[in-house]
Every structure is written in structure tokens, then in C-alpha cells.
Structure 1
């Protein structure tokens, strides 16, 4: 015990620029995650962004404690967040998937992504339950080898090191795999052409593309740190990079905020009785009633049916789809018209009449909207589909 206390007392406490930067980023990250959890729907993509922040902040809180030496006061927690490092890349992928695919996260579908972190956690149970002397030696080996080590029982089983010694390669492999998946996801969304930059300041594609770029920068820095440091002594560089990333993210979130808009308090659509509504509610209401086929549909009518105000619905559609209300409704009409143009039950109707059944008041409006969303006229679309069937 005397040897333990002697080395324990020699562990220095340091507060420098690197530690301050890390601490600011960790606090900002937890605060941003809290705001997201309080404001965002649990089914929304941004909710996964909040979980991604929580995972990263917990990991870098561990790095902060180790770097400053404060870990000696909670030595039983040393390396307790290692398995979370293997969740950083997956949670980023889950966020982009729900954002770009507009599909809810399903554990049944995505459970394989949790296999590696879970297996690693199970492989380290022996270490997590080990005496404090073992954890102190692990910390000393990573940050203060010059202080020596404390004695441990000779019969203690260190077999968990077989996996622990390969942790860095597991992390790098995870980042490479998910960097490929996220890049593929963004490219797929770009090729679909679902996102437009005309109506919003930061569209989904641009945000997702920038996220992948940051992901790539983080991977390069991770590789360089692993290449130049045999222990965990370079992790604070990653912590400072994470702080920069969190503040860049905070900047873009704040710049999209209504707080900076003119007359945001006295918005002409907003009332004191306004309530928030999820985008899924808009989609469900329009789908269930096929209300979008009503030629007289208006933004205010949709808002009234949802019990909110027109400005809220407009901004929600804008942020989720990158389209204004009219384009959003027309897209739904065009999708329905594509089905009816090929449906034998509607073969007795002219193309103009089919346009009227989905809500268009004139032939010109139908043709213009169809060409905008499909890239060809209705007649050309029907001809192309019939040729495909005959081929």
C-alpha cells in the first residue's frame, strides 16, 4: 500500500491550454446534446446527432481526466469508456442515415453495428472488475511510465490484453468502414437529387457532405496520432480537434436559428398559442387523407389541421425536404400521378384529366411540375415505362 500511495502522490496535475480547450469542448458538447434531447423528437435524425455528441463527450471526458491527472481521483473509471470509442463512427452513420433516408432507426435492422462494441466490452469485463492497482498501472503505462508501476498479485490473469493491445486497430478499422458507408450514403443521396439548395441556407446534402469531410479529417488525425504515439499521450490532440468540430457544429446550428431573423418575435404567422409539430405528423396527415390532391390546399389549412401555425409548418417542410410548401405538395401529386398514368384503372382518362385527379387545375401546371420533378413530360414518361415492359 505504501508503494501504491507513493506513486499515486507523484502523479502530477496539469492544467494548460490543451486541457482548457478540451474542457470547453466537452461542456459545449454536453450542453448541445441536452438542448437536442429537450427540443427534438426521439424519432428525428437530430436525436441521433445528440447521442453521437454524448458518446464523443464521454470518451473525451476520459481523455481529459487522464491528460490532466485528475483520473487518479477516479482511477476505478480508467479506460471505462474504451468501448464507446467503437460507437463514435456508428452513431455518426445512424445520424446521416436517418437524415438522408428519412427512415426511423430500427434496432432490429441495425443490431450488427453494435456487435463489435459489445464484444469488446465483454472482453474487458475482467479489467473493469479488476483491483485499482491494475487500473493504476494501466494509467501509468499510458501517461506516466517514468513513475514506475505498483505491485499486483502474481496470479492475476491479464488475458484481456490480447484484445486490448489491438484496440487501436479495431478503432481504425471501424473508422475506415463507417467512413466508406457514410460517403456512400451521401453520394447515393446526391445522385437521387432529393436535396435542393434553393430554399434553405444549409441543405441536408451540404451538411452531410461536410460531416463526411470532418469524419475524414478526424480519421487522418487519428491515424497520425496512433502513428506517432505508442501510448495514449497524443489523445489530447484528438480532444482539441473534437472541440473545434463541436464549435463549428454549434455555429451552423445557431446560424440556422430564428433568433437572428428580423421580427422573429412578431412573426406574422406566429401566435402565442402556437405549438410544435413533428414532420412525421405532416407526412401522416397528408398521406392518410390524400389531402395533397385537393386543388385548393393551402399552407394555412394544413397548419390548422395540425393545430399549429403556418410558419412552423413552412419551416419544418423547408428544413426536412429542402423544398417550399408548393414544391413539396406538387412532388406528392407527381408521385401519385406517376402511379395513375400506368394504372389500367385510369387508362380511360387523358393525361390532363389524371393531372386534375391529383390536384392540378390546369394542363400547363401539371406538365411544368411533372417535368420539374421527373425530368420529362408525362407522355414521355409513360412511353419510356411501356418500352421497359416490352423490353
Structure 2
């Protein structure tokens, strides 16, 4: 029987809905922060980092935009580029970016694809370097760029516990020995929940004449200064920790020591195709862009109701608690070193080892998510690095100590029975 089937069978008979969570973080008006969202209280949501969660007020703002669109589609779509431009400027301002450097796109992977297509259009071989901490879709796109351009793709191994100095040393060794045109590196990694020293990496790559794409998918809302301005291109999702409606992300291009700013074009040409960057991205035909228009509201709403400093502090505290409580439960179940050293830990995300010694693939660990959720009421992410399986927890304002305790007292025993 597969691990995912075992997880279903071991817990389903005793599954109960989650108890009402303790207050945890409060809004400025004294309400539990969780009341700002529509999350199902039958589950404990410890995986904000995968798909985010949109506050109710922001969903209502998006619904207002949709109502305007449907009330007069002609007026809506004629005026839509102007609405997008204003939303783009508001997002750029909150991210600390120049409005002329940033555009709105569907997600970080789409932004990376735009960079790859721009480089492919130069009609020369592109030699690409990635790391083994990269997000799968972005890495696969980089490797396709290398194939289609006639270049090469190489991947640098970075140990899980590598310090910032270790990361820089390994990249320096690789760039000194291999031809490279583009380095793709994560700001906050998805499979390993750690940060990379992207500013120093950009300086290093530029010294070798190599452009840098920084994948900042998890950065907005997590890092106070999310955009890596030293990167030739940066992409970041607003639907994760920023809590915008899904399908909202930012791409930013900068002039660097490696060359002028990339002349980025949307993946789909529309009537703005002859405009300059980033205005050409404001024209997206008849796509429903209400998510983009509601993106500024998400950040402003959470600042008004709670405050981003308080959200970041609370999220980090919840993950510190998870390291202690869930880590202790895993240790008691026989897991050695349950809280791995990830070199540069990130506030709202943590990695913990799963029981057992088997070797895992990405698809195998990913298949655990839904069965584990269905059987325990705990929503988490499972990841893999170098064949070792981990549970990745991530928190936001709505996360409570009760959620963490439930993962320790119910989630860990389910994992031990299912895959230990």
C-alpha cells in the first residue's frame, strides 16, 4: 500500500473537525486575525506559502471590480489599461520600486518565461546556470531556453545547510570554470524554505559578465524590501504572503553592470505592443484582470487591520514554536535531527524532516498533501531535497499556537504511522 493510501486509512476513522483556534494574533480592533479570511475552520492551515489566502475584504473589492466589468464591458475594457497602470504604480510604491521598472504579470513562472523569451529572441546561444534549490517550473523553463538557443544548462549543488558565504563560494567556483550568460537563483527557496544572499550573488555574477534572474516568488510580504534591485530581472508573486487574489505577480527589470535593462514583452501581444516598457504590459485584451486591480487593496487592508511588522513578527514566532513543538514530537518518534539547518532560515517558513529512511522523488512527496489533509485536517506542504523528504510549514496572521500543537500531537503520529 502506498504512503498516501496509508495516511488516509490510518486517520479517517478518527478524524474530527478542528477545535476553535485560540485567538493568536489580534487585529488593531481586538478581533482574531483569522476572522479577516474565509478559511474553512474544519482545517488547520499551515501551508500559506503554496497558494496564499485572500482576505474577505479583498475578495469583496475584486467582486466590485467584476460587477463594474459586467455592467458595461465596453466601458470597462476601454478604460482597463488606465486602471492597471494605477494598480501597477501602487504595487510598485509599496514594494519600494520605481513604477517604470515594474509590470504586473500572472505569476512568477510567467515572469520567468518572459525573461527567457526575451533572451531567446537575441538569437544566440544562452548558457544557463541554476541551483538545485530552484522551483521546478522555473528551472525547467531555464533548461528549455538553453536547449532552444543552442546553449548549455548546468546546475550548481548548494548543500542544504550552506551559509551565505558557502553559497557565494560555490557559485564563484562554478562561474569561474564554466561559460554562463544567465544565472537563475531564488531569493526564498520553495523546496528548502531558505534564503539566498541575492544582492551579493548579483555582484558576483556581474563581475563575471553574467545576467541574473532572481526568483522572488515568496518574497512580497515576507521581506520588507522584496525586490532585488541588483538583479537584471526579478519576479515575485503577490498571491502568496502579500495575499492578493491569485494570478497576480510582478516582474521588474533593471540596468546592471552586465548590460542595459532587458526589453521585456508580454507573452501575448495586445494593442499595447508598440508602447514602451512597462506600459505595454497594461494591455491584456479581454482577460479578467480584477485580481491585479485588487492587489493594492490586499496589502493596504492588512496594514490597516494588523500591520505588516506585526504579521511578519507573528509568523516568525509561530514557526519558531513549530520548530520546538513539532520538532520535539518528531524527535520522540525517532527522527534524528528533525529540524535541519537550512543555512538562512526565513521568518514564516520552516522545514522539518519526515520519518523514515527511504529515498523520495518530488512527485511521491507531493502526493502526500491531499491524503494527509483529508485524514488529519492539517494543511501542510511536503517537499524533497536530495531524496530526503520534509514537511514545509508556513504561517501567516491567522496561524495560532493551537494549529502548531495540532500538528505536533496529531500530525506527527499520522506521519509516523503512514510513512515512518
- Please report the TM-score for the alignment, with normalisation by the length of structure 2: 0.22
- Computing the radius of gyration from Cα coordinates, the structure with the larger value is 1
| Greater percentage in helix | 1
- Please report the TM-score for the alignment, with normalisation by the length of structure 1: 0.24
By relative contact order (CA 8 Å, sep 6+), the higher-ranking structure is: 2
